[in-house]
A and B are shown apart, each in its own frame.
Chain A
Amino acid sequence: MSKVDRREFIKLVGAGGVGAGAGFMLAESIKHPVEHLIPYPVPPEEFSPGIATWYNTVCGMCPAGCGISVRTREGRAKKIEGNPAHPVNQGRLCALGQAGLQVLYNPDRLTAPMLQSGERGSGEFVQTTWSEGLSEVAARLSAGTGGEVYFVSEGVRGHLANLLELFMRELGSGNLLHYDFAHPHSLYAANSRLFGETQIPYYDIRNTRYLLSFGADYLNNWLSPVHHGLGFGHSRQGNGDARGRFVQIEPKMSISGAAADEWIPARPGSEGILALGVARQILAGGDYQGSDAGDWSAALSTYSADYVADKTGVPAETIDRIASEFAHADPGLAIGGGAAGNHTNGVDTLVAVNALNYLVGNIGKPGGVVFNPDPVAAGSSGRQANYQAMQDLAENARQGAIEVLIINNTNPLFTLPQAAGLKEALASIPLIVSLSSFMDETTAMADIVLPSHTYLESWGDDMPQPGVGFSVAAVSQPVVSPLYNTRATGDIILGLAGILGLTETMPWGSMEDYVKDGWRNIYDRGAPDAGDFESFWREVLISGVWGENTRKTVDVVVAKQVIDNIAVAEAEFAGDSDEYPFVLHPYLSTALYDGRGANLPWMQELPDPMTSIVYGSWVEMNPQTANELGIKDGDLVRITSEQGSIEAPAVMFPAIMPDVVAMPIGQGHDEFGRYARNRGSNPLQILAPNMDAASASLATSATRVSLVATGRRAGSVQTGGVARQLGRNIVQFTGADAGSAGHSAKLNSIPIVVESS
């Protein structure tokens, strides 16, 4: 062993030192990180760390109005489930409802009031305070005459609708518009014409034995899909051996079509003619014995099976068979909507569909058409802005007749076609105020942004429309404290009213007070066992729903004049059929609805049920069509209408008529946060401004397009591999027997239950 010299010694000391240091740090690194226990200075009532608190409230993700139970822990919302006591969804909830948490915790939420600091649409905003923002708006409201103030809100119901109405009346303006893209205008108009009812009736899918659906994608997004899903399940499996039969008529197979026993493609816009053909066969078969049978027969004489077969492309034998099955089902139910109601003959089509119900005598019967009593507090149905109203809005703006435009949580710049010209028209409005939780396309054009609470932070109430055949109302209560410096729409309105000195007619200090005050009327309706109002209110908040077992019976007599004029004209389409050979069929996306789900990662990741595609847009076409055009799956295709063009990758979809192409709605945002922006394309932008004259609503399925391959490839992200079995016999089936129908704290919110661990 050699001696250790001085240099060697220093080296060894150094090595030892470095080693010891490294060892020390190693031990340090494997220790638990320091965690803290943070107690509340004063704990909220009913609060226990580690124990979940559930609150019942109302879902705000779509207009169906489902009841939800939200699980919170340590003051944070953790999970949303359906409220089992709520008659609309009975404990179930759809994917969009589940994703409400990502609305609440979305990183792109607006967190404070803002003023536009650059050019409109530049996206440059500076933060301001609530008092400054509100007084600025109030000053502008009081400066002009009331008639120059316009208010465009999302479709709201219950007391918020009343509050908006009251506020606008106080301002001296009648210009309150409720705007929802997917509002079924033509269905309201059709029910009004045939039944004289201002409300959509309850279609009792649950108890029907034969469901004939004309374009209504009722399992996906038509009216109240969660409720329909429950009814469908019961109709199929809840009646012992009897299994409800279900026929779907539509040009492109939807989820509902995929669940049907029989899927019948009819030419787009010819659904009403088909319905009248079926009606005529019912009369011809002697299955309708009413005193007005003669009138009906005379009115429907043109709709012979051969004529209808010619117009719809559905074989005459099929029409005959369906008519016989439907007439002899006990009971049968016909529903119509979706694309079938969004043609230029939409109202006529839905009148024809409803006439089928009348002719088989299911009106007011279980398994048929049940009328809804009037909502217990005024709602917004019937006051929804149709396309004509939105065009008038744009026109008034261009004329300089609008001084102030207030937008509440609705995004018309995304859902209206470019042809409506609203974006350009906005330039003529001196002041645009937006109440929104997100920087969407419309809010980006606002001068003053007043950020609103999400529905999970707000007080409100809801009377679902269409209802479920009896009176239902529910209170929406905050489940968490507001995350940011935002306010509920109702509170913003009351704040403005306060500054404007309207406290005499609008004396409420908060939306909570107003809703609670309004519910005294509901309390007064009956003699509840709950005792005084406070305990009634408590009961309503705990159970999450209030109901009244009142039914509405209507003696439906269809006027002779209505019968005589029952006819469905052929649908008109914008665009020459040679230049634009395909009918564009835009449909509400399962995940994104009308586009409002596009900023939620869960919804972007949810595969489309029919194509299994996630993210992005696509255009579905029949493989035969694609073959003729030389387009392959995944080719980027340019879709051109008279109004403009967009691009989307082609997807081969066998269950679509060869001259129809389909695109999901919801993508193609320019704004709306990091998850939505610059993803896919928006088919609504290129729609022609064709309207259904009878309801003045946009005929969204009445645009013709041409397809051209761009030569580029842009495959869609698909989670399911091959759509065909390739002989693997994965899905085994037997053919359905045709004609077998009829066989066989901090808040005043009040939680509900305490979870056991």
Chain B
Amino acid sequence: MSVSIVHTLRVLLPAARIALVALIGLIVGFYANAMFFPGTSPEQPIDFSHRIHAGDNEIPCLYCHVQARRSISAGVPSVNKCMGCHAEIATNSPQIRLLANYWENKEPIPWVKVHDLPDFVHFTHKRHVQADIECQTCHGPVETMDVVSREAPVEMGLCLNCHKDNEVVHGTDCWTCHK
């Protein structure tokens, strides 16, 4: 007499089918999120266009992000700085009115971070800018973007490859970045 497990499996079949469909759903849901809501180009409080400023008008990056060459963080320009030009330029555009509103209320603009490194990574803009690394190496072609999105994969591989290619002294030591 033979004992078959087929009978037992057959009972479990409906459950297995449900689990399989749920698993497929999970994967689809996960990638749907990643594809349609990547979060790499978040909505900003003002529709600021880097294309107009850095692209069409060829304003250098460091004109506004003036801290980048001397601080670990590049910084965002103060509202004051924006108004330095926009007190005169395009004052009737609705987006500039939004800016002027912030200025009149002396409120900061809550920009949303696009490029963000984890806290365990020590990155300093100063060293990279002073070494003449193009901003675009990590930030992508920002001067072509109306809405900034995270295009370059700013992950450990990018750092290490660049450090290797440029033969950075101690460039691949762990504690160069993780300290």
| A residues with CB within 8 A of B | 2, 8, 11-12, 15-28, 31-32, 34-43, 48-51, 757
Contact = CB atoms under 8 A, between A and B. Distances in A.
Contacts, number: 135
Contacts of B102: 41
Given A24-B30, A34-B113, A41-B108, A19 B24 contact: yes
Instruction: Pick from B17, B26, B27, B32 the residue with the most CB of A within 10 Å.
Output: B26
B157 interface: no
A411 to B, nearest CB: 40
B126 interface: yes
Contact of A43 (B22, B25, B78): B78
Contacts of B103: 41
A19 B22 contact: yes
Contacts of B79: 39-42
Contacts of B70: 48, 51
Nearest to B17: A12
Interface string B30-61: 11111001010010000000000000000000
A15 B19 contact: yes
B25 A17 contact: yes
Given A18-B22, A19-B21, A19-B28, 19 more contacts: A2-B13, A8-B14, A12-B17, A19-B26, A20-B28, A25-B29, A34-B42, A35-B113, A37-B113, A39-B76, A39-B77, A39-B108, A39-B111, A40-B108, A41-B79, A42-B80, A50-B75, A51-B71, A757-B71
14 contacts: A8-B14, A20-B28, A21-B25, A21-B29, A23-B32, A36-B112, A37-B113, A39-B75, A41-B78, A41-B103, A48-B75, A49-B71, A49-B73, A51-B71
A41 B107 contact: yes
B124 interface: yes
Considering the complex of A and B, which 3 residue pairs feature the smallest CB-CB distances, nearest first?
A: A19-B25, A23-B29, A20-B29
Contacts of A38: 108-111
A18 B28 CA distance: 11
Nearest to A11: B18
Interface in B71-93: 71-73, 75-80
Contacts of B78: 39-43
Contact of B30 (A8, A12, A23, A36): A23
B178 interface: no
Nearest to B127: A757
Given A19-B22, A49-B67, A50-B67, A41 B80 contact: yes
Nearest to B109: A39
B33 A28 contact: yes
B61 to A, nearest CB: 15
Contacts of B80: 40-43
A726 B75 CA distance: 59
Contacts of A42: 78-80, 106
Contacts of A8: 14, 17
Given A8-B14, A27-B34, A41-B78, A757 B124 contact: yes
B160 interface: no
A22 B103 CA distance: 43
A20 B42 contact: no
A11 B42 CA distance: 36
B177 interface: no
